[in-house]
Chains A and B, each alone.
Chain A
């Protein structure tokens, strides 16, 4: 299958509105995170997903709730899309006891078994075998679940990624690997880190079904991911996708991102913004400006509530410092 062969999908107004609201919520939560970072309420590394929201939201829409999702450190969008609450995400960033990882993980590490959000990893590429391992377990138990692994264009250069896709294909694991090509790995553009610039082509070398697609419009993301997930679930083997996207902020809060090409960011914001594209579609489906504004207001209120919750939550209890070193026998 190539992108051209991916079947069309019907997406109704209610469905699209739900996705739009989720994307808007992710963006708002991260805008507040950026603000909190400058106020030193959030510390350490903080990698924002702003600009890429359509990928996580459209992809999660293609999953069943009990399918697993794993990603790296740029995780806020995937976490919220998969079902971790903005309160738990922001409280984690604030290092509070009420955070998804009880203040232990911060921006890079958090997870929730209940929603099958597997986290949250800081060593580039290292989580990709874990995603394949989830798929291995799915096949082993025959439970019909699919795992979805997100990684960056930079992570696609790691041996761990390559080894994982080799075995995933060899064993026909029910896995979908999504390389989010956001043009850069820190300050290094894709063409300076790889001879081939379409990371889905890594799949060709291992015989895996693969294709690349533009992932700015949430409906396009859903359409492509649905086809990939269906394929993986059918038992025919895994799929490797490259989702072409773009990050608006620096690599992390400390990166001024001076390496961008002139006009690149502006043109993406103007022509490829996932939120704007969804708004346009919604208007085509008859939504009024007032209706859209009501959604935005609701999202702002929810994000602000999460921010206040994070701010007012208590610090982790020092008595629990050694918790989570070894599991209970």
Chain B
């Protein structure tokens, strides 16, 4: 078992997959000679050379599309988006090409590609650089969406994503790249579509993913002091959703709070709330609540930004509310 940073775990996953499969390559802005804008690909150019670690111009629509074409031709591209904000430049290619190729060609072509990069707010980056876009990508059949930030989960899931026959959206976190966690030395894969209970509890389930898992842990600590036992369910994959585990948690704790970055309206939380009430209505003791970004573009100033982001305090308040406290 080794302690490693999230960026190191991602690098280990990519490096191992590139060693085992000649078809895998990494392409994106600053991934090669600069060693990655966030140093995720550090040293990979030195090992694999510039045939397989490829710097691109700032042309997301172009290089995402080129990746999709290469995947249709049988290669296994990993496309790094410096952050997911910039994926919006390539939204057309990801949605209208990657997500639909397999279906539109009735299976003649597959599109085994991974789009990966930092998602969600870092700090003080204002409205265009702070977006959490899970709900946007999860909307479309044909895409798989992973959003995770513990080193071990990121490692196991990225390996699965690279081997997956379909396009996978893989969301990391700028603030978590330097955070350390234990990762087993033995190679392992984590299946796409499986959540994990990160902390057990009996009164309420906090459903979350990526760096809001940490917010929920902090909230669960605070709730424990008040005698509320909170379970933390880390979905890890947004689509396909681990409904089995989600519903089991809802049935066992009778109360659910979804904690997500990104906006409330048509967010992933809305989907989870809808599904939980459809499947578990009779078992619920309270409506499903959501803690999300406030419904406003991300402000730069620290005092305003703090108000906008989900916080442990807001999670505590929501948990109290569903527990009738």
Which residues from chain A sit less than 8 Å from chain B, CB to CB?
A: 43-45, 95-96, 101, 103-106, 108-109, 121-126, 154-155, 157-160, 185-188, 192-194, 259, 315-316, 318, 321-322, 325
14 A-B residue pairs with CB within 8 Å: A44-B123, A95-B124, A95-B300, A95-B301, A95-B302, A106-B125, A106-B301, A122-B85, A154-B58, A157-B58, A193-B55, A259-B33, A318-B303, A322-B294
Closest to A162 in B: B59
6 further A-B pairs in the complex, CB-CB below 8 A; given A44-B122, A44-B123? A44-B300, A96-B301, A101-B300, A158-B59, A159-B89, A318-B307
**In whole angstroms, how far apart are the Cα atoms of A122 and B122 in the complex?**
15
A106 contact from B58, B295, B300, Cβ within 8 A: B300
The A contact surface, by secondary structure, is loop
Task: Tell me whether B61 is interfacial, beta carbon within 8 Å.
Answer: yes
A186 contact from B29, B62, B88, B124, Cβ within 8 A: B29
Shortest C-beta distance, B91 to chain A (Å), equals 12
B62 touches A159 (CB 8 A): yes
The B contact surface, by secondary structure, is loop
B58 touches A185 (CB 8 A): yes
Task: Tell me whether B299 is interfacial, beta carbon within 8 Å.
Answer: yes
A154 touches B57 (CB 8 A): yes
B126 touches A105 (CB 8 A): yes
Closest to B85 in A: A123
**In whole angstroms, how far apart are the Cα atoms of A68 and B162 in the complex?**
47
B300 touches A109 (CB 8 A): yes
- CB neighbours (8 Å) of B294 from chain A are 321-322
- CB neighbours (8 Å) of B279 from chain A are none
In B289-318, which residues have CB < 8 Å from any A CB? 294-297, 299-304, 307-308
Which residues from chain B sit less than 8 Å from chain A, CB to CB?
A: 29-30, 33-34, 37, 55-59, 61-62, 85-86, 88-89, 122-129, 294-297, 299-304, 307-308
**In whole angstroms, how far apart are the Cα atoms of A321 and B302 in the complex?**
12
A186 touches B30 (CB 8 A): yes
- CB neighbours (8 Å) of B297 from chain A are 104, 325
A104 touches B299 (CB 8 A): yes
Shortest C-beta distance, A31 to chain B (Å), equals 21
**In whole angstroms, how far apart are the Cα atoms of A217 and B154 in the complex?**
51
B126 touches A106 (CB 8 A): yes
**In whole angstroms, how far apart are the Cα atoms of A187 and B124 in the complex?**
23
**In whole angstroms, how far apart are the Cα atoms of A266 and B105 in the complex?**
57
- CB neighbours (8 Å) of A185 from chain B are 57-58
- CB neighbours (8 Å) of B301 from chain A are 95-96, 103-104, 106, 315-316
B34 touches A45 (CB 8 A): no
- CB neighbours (8 Å) of B300 from chain A are 43-44, 95, 101, 103-106, 109
**In whole angstroms, how far apart are the Cα atoms of A186 and B56 in the complex?**
12
A109 touches B299 (CB 8 A): no
- CB neighbours (8 Å) of A96 from chain B are 301
- CB neighbours (8 Å) of B303 from chain A are 95, 315-316, 318
**In whole angstroms, how far apart are the Cα atoms of A187 and B37 in the complex?**
9
B33 contact from A43, A101, A105, A187, Cβ within 8 A: A187
Closest to A159 in B: B61
Shortest C-beta distance, A319 to chain B (Å), equals 10
A321 touches B128 (CB 8 A): no
B34 touches A188 (CB 8 A): yes
B129 touches A318 (CB 8 A): no
B304 touches A318 (CB 8 A): yes
A321 touches B304 (CB 8 A): yes
B88 touches A123 (CB 8 A): yes
**In whole angstroms, how far apart are the Cα atoms of A186 and B33 in the complex?**
11
- CB neighbours (8 Å) of A122 from chain B are 85, 126, 128-129
B37 touches A186 (CB 8 A): yes
Closest to B60 in A: A158
Closest to A46 in B: B124
- CB neighbours (8 Å) of B62 from chain A are 159
- CB neighbours (8 Å) of A192 from chain B are 33, 55
- CB neighbours (8 Å) of A160 from chain B are 89
**In whole angstroms, how far apart are the Cα atoms of A125 and B128 in the complex?**
13
User: Most chain-B CB neighbours within 10 Å: which of A126, A188, A259, A325?
Assistant: A188
Closest to B298 in A: A104
User: Most chain-A CB neighbours within 10 Å: which of B56, B59, B86, B300?
Assistant: B300
Shortest C-beta distance, B36 to chain A (Å), equals 10
A316 touches B58 (CB 8 A): no
Given contacts A122-B129, A157-B59, contact A321 B124 (CB under 8 A): no
A322 touches B296 (CB 8 A): yes
**In whole angstroms, how far apart are the Cα atoms of A202 and B125 in the complex?**
31
